[in-house]
Chains A and B, each alone.
Chain A
């Protein structure tokens, strides 16, 4: 069974930083790309960032480009999202989701999410 456990969320002031982690288990972590998807309060789903299975390629939504950095440690089966220069509009629940054999951005499994609140 695929298990994904996000952590690292919390309350941070505008302009601050936060690092999210997602620990994966139950599948071959290093064989799949990983994505972060977020959901602002009362809103829909928004893809944020992805990283290839080796970590050699990274991708970002325009809304976070230059402020967020995705990384992975295949020895720890963990993906990270470093979030800098945070804004109020980054307030959301952040989910990690691996790609699938059917496609890098096909999300068959999701973590439970970690909440990020950006407020003074």
Chain B
């Protein structure tokens, strides 16, 4: 199975900050990488597909990049509603696997 490693596991930031979350795959996955946002008690929400494709309705302050084994999710200017946990996931091959999550908290 492909292991997905996210860093950091938690992050404190302020409204307006630019933040970057990193995801590393244990082997190359081309651009078959998705990012999800999850708020407490809610289902995950898809933000990014194919490493850099923005889902419809997702604000443009979210962006994704990377290919192969190293990927990043960037939020250009944090808004209060962005404080949540973020997960990466590879869908390059079976079984699909998720990163351990990054909890983004208010500083």
Determine how close the nearest CB of chain B comes to the CB of A7; give it in whole angstroms.
Answer: 14
Which residue of B is nearest A59, CB measured? B94
Least CB distance, A65 to chain B, in whole angstroms: 11
State which of A44, A46, A61, A112 has its C-beta within 8 Å of the C-beta of B43.
A112
Report if A109 contacts B (CB, 8 A): yes
**Inside 8 A of B34's CB, which chain A residues have their CB?**
106-107
Judge whether B44 and A103 touch: CB under 8 Å.
no
Give A108's nearest chain B residue, CB to CB. B46
A-B contact count (CB 8 A): 55
For A111, list chain B residues within 8 Å (CB): 43
Q: Is the interface of A mostly helix, strand, loop or mixed?
A: loop
* B31: min CB distance to chain A, Å: 10
Contact A44:B94 (CB < 8 A) given known A102-B49, A106-B34: no
Residues of B within 8 A of A (CB): 32, 34, 36, 42-46, 49-50, 55, 87, 89, 91, 94-101
- 26 A–B contacts from the bound complex (CB under 8 Å): A35-B96, A44-B87, A44-B99, A44-B101, A45-B44, A47-B95, A47-B96, A47-B98, A61-B95, A95-B43, A102-B49, A103-B91, A104-B91, A105-B91, A105-B94, A105-B95, A106-B91, A107-B36, A107-B44, A108-B55, A109-B46, A110-B43, A110-B44, A110-B46, A111-B43, A112-B42
In addition to A44-B101, A105-B94, A107-B34, 13 A-B residue pairs with Cβ atoms within 8 Å of each other are A44-B99, A45-B87, A47-B98, A59-B94, A95-B43, A95-B44, A100-B49, A105-B89, A106-B49, A107-B36, A107-B44, A110-B44, A113-B43
